[in-house]
Amino acid sequence: MADIPETGRDEAAPGAVPDAAHGAALDAARALQARRFAGIDLSHPAAAALFTAGIGRLAALLAAEPRLFEKDAPAGTTSHKIGAPPKFIHEIVPPPPPDVFFKLQRVLADENTTNEDIAGIVSADPGLTGFLLRMVNSVYYGFPDKIDTVSRAVSLLGRREIFSHAAARAVSEVYRDMPPRRYLNMRRFWRHSLACGLFCRAASLAAGVGDPERYFVAGLLHDIGKPQLLLALPAASETAVEAARMENVHQSLAEQRLFGYDHGEVAGMVFAKWNFPEELTDAVSHHHHPERAQGSHKTAMVHAADFAVVALGISVDPRAHMPPFSPEAWETAGLGPEPLLELLNAVETHLDDFVAMFSAG
């Protein structure tokens, strides 16, 4: 591992930290960042830039939400052993998608159907209708005029984009109302997921590579295996989180060791059972080991987006170790430090609006 980079001016963070607390918060954040990045090669320009950029954000977060950094109550019975053997991944049964998604999948796959057929199915579902109209009227698209009918939204966006939005809505709806879990704050989970989705979409647009909406969905849903694992194997997945924390490694490594698969592969299994396109399934499955994705740009971008937003503390647990870092995937993603930080700034600018829009209805 390379030396920790000299930090200074570039640590400046959005978010106000009172002067008196500023120095102490920065010191604490710097120490935390060093711990989270343990084992990551900081001679890589993207890793070094993110290490530094994250310090100011972590300091602001420490000041704004100190509870996030408090130690959890002792777990009592927790050990690194799993009481019951975990299921094999193919034995995990995800919840069914909402009916409207099944209907839409069928209609979108049939070339003989019309935009009116699609609009008819969307309009019958108030939740999906509201979501689609909020999206199409948001800064995400930046259309100059207000779009107030589903038919108009469908003809403006086209089939592939309608599928992407319907998929995003369907999956988030299924996992939205999870019962509260000790180690999965769903508010922070969706904030992280949206940041990744927005980053992937913006990076696809900036590079002129791929379909931006598919990138958005891949980024948005890459960690859906986490809530699914907690539903299927509640005690064992909590053990994985605790083991990762105690050993200061990323959660995916603890899952791999304890279960033989990680939450990315669980997300891929959910996608496959829901008949999502293979490129999306691969991108979520391999986000923590992109070398398995045979040079896929989308997978590399999800891997990079995840690392980048976690580095800034936009994650379920800002104390947790950084995700694995693949220099080859960063090469494939083609993101140098400067465009990377610009993209992140753009994502942060609109993130709160998107979180509000996504959580509404």
- Does 265 contact Fe ion by CB under 5 A? no
Residue among 125 and 238 whose Cβ is closer to Fe ion: 238
| Residues ≥6 apart with Cβ < 8 Å to 320 | 36, 244, 245, 250, 251, 310
- Minimum gap (Å) between residue 6 Cβ and Fe ion: 29
- Please name the residue ranges forming H helices in the chain: 19-36, 45-64, 99-109, 115-123, 126-136, 150-157, 159-176, 186-207, 212-221, 225-232, 234-247, 251-259, 263-273, 278-285, 297-311, 327-333, 337-359
Name which of 42 and 266 has its Cβ closer to Fe ion. 266
Q: Is 104 helix (H, G, I), strand (E, B) or coil?
A: helix
Check residue 282 for interaction with Fe ion (CB under 5 A).
Answer: no
Taking the least distance from each CB to Fe ion, the nearer of 133 and 217 is: 217
**x/- binding map, residues 292-311, to Fe ion, per CB under 5 A?**
--------------x-----
Please count the residues of this chain forming the interface with Fe ion, following the rule CB under 5 A. 2
The nearer residue to Fe ion, 242 or 306, going by C-beta atoms, is 306
Contact in structure between 348 and 15 (CB atoms under 8 Å): no
Q: Measure the CA–CA gap between 164 and 104, rounded to whole angstroms.
A: 11
Q: Which stretch binds Fe ion (CB under 5 A): 26-34, 141-149, 202-210, 219-227?
A: 219-227
Using the rule CB under 5 A, give the single segment among 111-119, 216-224, 297-305, 340-348 that binds Fe ion.
Answer: 216-224
Measured from the CB atom, the residue of 213 and 223 that comes closer to Fe ion is: 223
Nearest CB to Fe ion, comparing residues 129 and 315: 315
For residue 42, give both structure tokens. Answer: 């900081």
Q: How far is the CB of 267 from Fe ion (least distance, A)?
A: 8
Between CA 152 and CA 159, with CA 156 as vertex, the angle to 5 degrees is: 105
Segment contacting Fe ion (CB under 5 A): 30-38, 69-77, 197-205, 220-228?
220-228
Task: Name the residue nearer to Fe ion (CB basis): 56 or 324.
Answer: 324
Residue pair 304/290 in contact by the 8 Å Cβ criterion: no
State the nearest-atom distance from the C-beta of 150 to Fe ion, in Å. Answer: 32
Q: CB 284 → Fe ion: shortest distance, Å?
A: 9
* Minimum CB distance to Fe ion, residue 252 (Å): 6
- Nearest approach in angstroms of CB 239 to Fe ion is 17
Residue closer to Fe ion, measured from CB, 11 or 223:
223
| Count of other CB atoms within 10 angstroms of residue 187 | 10
**325 contacts 344 by C-beta, under 8 angstroms:** no
CB of 54 to Fe ion, least distance (A): 15
118 vs 221, beta carbon nearer Fe ion: 221
Cβ 226 to Fe ion shortest distance, Å = 7
**Residue 71, SS3 per DSSP:** coil
Query: Structure tokens of 182?
Result: 């000790």
| Token pair 């089939």: residue | 159
Specify the amino acid at residue 84: A
Minimal CA–CA distance to 172: which of 112, 219, 205?
219
Torsional sign, CA 136, 137, 138, 144:
positive
Is 223 a binder of Fe ion (CB under 5 A)? yes
Interface positions with Fe ion (CB under 5 A): 223, 306
